[in-house]
Each structure stands twice: as C-alpha cells, then as structure tokens.
Amino acid sequence: MRPIKLLFWFTPPVLAIALYGSTLTLPFFWDDVANFQFLFDRPLAQIWVESSGFPYYRPLTFVLWRLIQITFGPLNPAPYHALNILALIACGWVVGLLANRLARNPSELPQETAPADEFLTGWLAGALMTVFPFAALVVPLVASFFHLFVTLVVAGACVCLLEFERTRKMGWAMAAIALAALAPFAHESGITAAALMAICFAARHLKGNLQSLIARRQSLAILALSFLFNLAFIPWWARIPKAQNGGDVGAGWIGWESVGQAIVFFFESLTFPIQFLARPLMKLGLVDMLAVLGLGLAALGLAAAILKERRWLVFGLAYCFAAAAPAIAALPFSYIIVSPRLMMVTAPAAAILWATVIADGTRRLARPGIRIGVAATVVAAISFVPALHISREVRLHHLTLDHLYAFVADLQAHPDDQHLIVNAVNWTAPVNATYALGHEGVEVMPAYLTPQLMAWVHTQTLYNVDAITFPLVFPQLNDIYFSTWGESEALDWNVMAERVRVADRVAVVQYADDNIQYLEVGNVGPASGEAVVSFEDRIWLTAIEVTLKGQVIELRLSWRVNAVSGEDIFANALDCAGNVAGLSGGASLGGIYPVWLWQPGESIHEIRRIPLTAPASDGCYRIELGLFNPQTGAAFDSNGARLENDIVVINLPAP
C-alpha cells in the first residue's frame, strides 16, 4: 500500500509540471487584461463589496490575485501561471482524496486504514484529473484560474463532508460549510457546491445497505447549512454593483435547443477517454453532435458493464451535470461551444468515474503489483491522446504568445514614438483539432482589447500604438489558422502607405507554421543622406549596415527617393564559394511598402532580413543588393560608375 500512497502524492505534480511547466514563461493575454484593469490599485476590502467596471463578481479569486500583486508585483506573469499549475496539482490531490473517500465503506471505523483498493482508485482519479484534456486552454491562461479554483474549492468541500462522516470531528464540518459558502465567491458555478456535496453524500451511502438518514442528521445539517449559504449568495450577488455584460450572455431564456446542445457538450467532458474518435467519425459523414453523443453512450455502456457498483455511473452523471447546470441554463450554446474552460468544474466526475472503471476492471488480478501495473498501463493509454493534445496546445501558446515580449520591449525602448503594428495576432488555432466540440487554439487579443492595453498589462504604461490588418501580405500556412486584430478595417496599398508615413516606428507580425515573430521593419521619414549608390538618380541608397544574427543576415538600409519609380528590391546572400545561402526580395518594410508607392522627398529606413537556408560553415557571405523590374526581372540601371550587373555587392567576412 505504501507505493500507492507515494504514487498518489507524486503523480499530480509530476504530470502537471511535465505538461504545463513551460507555461510559466508565457505573457499575459486575452481576459488577463480586463481582469487586471479591474484589479488595478483596488483595495482588498472594496473587492468584496462592489464590482463596478467588471461584469462578474468573483471576489475570492481577485483577492488571491491582489495578494500576488502586492507580494510579487503586478507585471510578472510567472507567479500567476505558477498559481494555475499549483491549483491543478491540488485538484489532482483533492479529487483523488474524494475518490478514495467515496470508495470507502461507510461503516469503516475512523481508526481503520483504507485498503489498497481505495488508494488505487484515488491515485488513478488524481492522475486522470491532472491530464484532463480540456484543461489545455485553462492552465496556460491566468484568467482561467477562476475555473481551476472553483473546481478545487467545491471538491474540497465534498472531501471535508466525507471526512466528517468518517471522523465525526467538527473541524471537518466547519471546513465543509465554509468552503461551500465561499465557492460562489470564486466563480458563479460554485453555487452548486451544496448540491455536489449532497451527490457525494448520496453516492457514498448507496454502497451496501442504506442506513437511516436520521443517524446522519449531523451530515444533513451540514448540507442544509451549505444550501442556505449558496442560496444566500443569490441576493448578495444581485445587490453588488457590476458592469452590464455584453452580447447574449444573461439576455434571457436560451431555448431548449441550446440546452440540448450544451448537454452534449458536457457529455464530451464526462466521456473524454473515447471522444478523440469523434473526429474520425465526422470525416465519415457523422455530424459532430451525433458523433459525441454516440461515443459517449458507448463509453457509458462499457463503464456499466465493467463497474461492480452502478452507483459510480449515477455519481458521474449527477456530479457532471449538476456542476454544469448553471452554464447549461444561463449561457447560450454559441458562448459555451467556444469555452471549454466551462468543462473544468465537471472534470472530477470524469476522473472519478473512469478511475473506478479501471480499478474494478483490474479487481480480479490477485497480485497487487500486477494489478497496479495493469491499472497504470490503462491510465497511460487513456492519457496518451489527452497528453498529446495538451502538449500541442502548450506549444501553440508559445508559438502564438512569445513574440508579445518583443512587442512590449520595443515600446519600452521607444516610449515617445508613435508605433504602428501590422497584423497583430488576434487568435490562432490548429488546422486539425483533436476533439469535436469546443474551441482549440489561443485567443490573444479579441476586438474589445487593443494593442495599447496588451502592452499596458505588462507595463502599466499607455503607449502610442496603432494596429492594422493588411491581409495582402498573409502567408499560406499548413498547420495553423490565424486571425489578426482589426480585420474589419479594409485597407489597400495606398491606405496602408498613408498609415506607414505617419508612424515613427513600424513593426510587422510575421506568421509561419513554426514561428510567429514581431519584427521591427523600419519607418518613413523626410529625405536625408547622400548617395552611396545612385540608381538613375531617382533613388539613392544612402546607408548600409549589415549584421549576421544567428541564421539571419540583417540589412539596415536607407533609401532616398528623388523621383517616382516602379522597381522592386532584391537582396540575395551567397557564401564565398558562390552558392546561394538565402534570398530576400520584395517590398520594403516587411513587404508592406513597395517602391512604386515611394514618394519624392522621403527616405525609407528599412530593416531587411535574409534567412539563411544554407548557412556558410565559415560565416563568409557575399550579399548582392539592388533594384529590379518586377515585370521583366531586369536589374535597375545605376547612374554614374556602373556596377557589375547593376548590383551592390557587400562582403560579410567571418566573425
């Protein structure tokens, strides 16, 4: 039994850190901005009595965040991400304890030690809770701590009630009531805490002969007080000043169709071990709802065939849909379908149900070591797809978000400049989703936010930032979809040029399947500088700087415009043996400001990058730079002393 106890306590932190440890380095994003705008300099006491400027009343969570701000400062995301990971670990432990307590015989004496069977169930439940796949979008987002926290508080209340049942110590009773009373203050779904405690109480006493409820009047009193506190939250919540929530949320009765769709959505959560098969079924022509429903019913049928006691099936269904009831009744399906974070509060039901199925399915294995090994193998098999899904989502978060640090650093380095950001990321999503229902991907900066606020949440400074979308330079990607901020504004080349000319600094967010970068690309200013190279005296190249940065050659070029031209720019890198090392051709400023838009009397200061697809082993390069006719490919004639092939040659020696 001792190895099981050790596994019980070690498995959730090991899994959580392995799957989510790298999220500690993620920046703030999405709803983090609105949450910290509300929290900015707000006194702790005020958080409990009003929520002006914010549509939700969740003071318990905000108090924890405020304490972190006071302790670690408001600008470092790492402590907040650490809190999410710690909450997931705690959820694994508490759900494991809940499974353990539910599996115990109600007649067990307090001093008795739980048999290994119950510790096995608890260990498996804790592991499955930690690899719950729909937490993949919850743990990386600081703002989703609401959902982790309320799940933890409610499950903790259930454990305290069952521990009181076992020990009859009033401390557990008081803890159960306190946690149930506080749960709605963490998140509105916590209003179901007493109902979920009652489900756990009933599930435990459905084992064997149901004893007289009168003999358990103390437990019933705990439940009654918990219900009263949960009900009392409603008028308290109603009197708290809050901002009006936009959209369809809370607009009235959502309709039976939405309710039915939401039930299937949460059914996907309860039966997650098999739901990855819904996507292949959809490719065969089955609609998503029917695929999820059919697989879910098949999974529950399998569970019913394996389970020794059907109370576990009843418990799983009851806990899942009682926990989801506020969302099902109050939120339209259009909101729910893009909010897999809502599944988090139902995760204990799924983890405990399938842990019990595995424990019962291996019960006939007489030797404990073999049974533990087989059970662990089954959990590993069940967790394989969720773990892959979580790992992919975490990688996508880094792909999508890491460049925000470069964005913030650029603003901090040039606080007085007018910045223009082209194609700032709105959201990304994988082309091939894992599950049928629920958004997969990363929401970064929806329409109600601005790049200015995204920078503010990391600096508490408002910079001069403008952002636009310019789809004419979008790449075609294979692995991800992406959307950019400000897509509703229609731009053509001329409007784009006007926006560029008024900016002090221009940056472009460039997209690739394996890299999203924030790149400073230069600016447009008044004509300045003398010709280093003159092209028919219409365009002067007035400055050239070349730097080798890893696998990229960076060119800082200044062009002075004396007359209208229609050519384009090329910049090719060859190694010193004459082999092509990298190519960079096209419009200036990251592709958004072509030569035919250049106006006499201005200078274009551009940063052009040549990615080295075949780097030279000795670091020796020859850069060929010039202008060419995009229709004919002919190089531009230069004025004065003719250059060989009308090409500027720059030698970059080995460092």
Distances in whole angstroms, Cα of residue 541 to Cα of each of 85, 109, 153, 233, 536 = 53, 89, 66, 70, 11
Report the chain's C-alpha Rg in angstroms: 30
CA atoms within 13 A on the CB side of 372: 18
Residue 116 has what pLDDT? 61
**pLDDT for res 154:** 99
* DSSP assigned state of 476: P
Q: In the prediction, which pLDDT does 297 show?
A: 98
- Letter for the amino acid at 590? G
CA 87 to chain centre: 16
The answer to whether the CB of 545 falls within 8 A of the CB of 556 is yes
How confident is the model over 425-433, as a mean pLDDT?
A: 96
pLDDT at 106: 55
Q: Is 109 exposed, middle or buried (0-12, 13-18, 19+ CB in 10 A)?
A: exposed
450, amino acid identity: T
Provide the token pair at 563: 């007359």
Of 536, 479, 469, 543, nearest in space to 508 by CA: 469
Domain limits, the chain: 2-253+369-398, 402-525, 527-655
The Cα angle at residue 563 between residues 562 and 566, in degrees rounded to 5: 130
With b for 16 or more beta-carbon neighbours within 10 A and e for fewer, the 14-35 pattern comes to ebbeebbebbbebbbbbbbbbb
Q: By the 8 A CB rule, do 207 and 106 touch?
A: yes
- What percent of the chain lies above the pLDDT cut of 70? 92
User: 463: closest CA among 425, 503, 423, 496?
Assistant: 503
How confident is the model over 28-79, as pLDDT tens digits?
999 999 999 998 888 989 999 998 888 899 999 999 999 999 999 999 999 9
pLDDT at residue 210 in the model: 52
Class of CATH domain 527-655: mainly beta
329-341 tens-digit pLDDT? 999 999 999 999 9
Q: 248 in helix, strand or coil? A: coil
> Largest alpha-carbon pair distance within the chain?
106
Residue pLDDT, tens place only, 104-138: 765 554 444 444 677 899 999 999 999 999 999 99
For residue 5, pLDDT over 70 is answered with yes
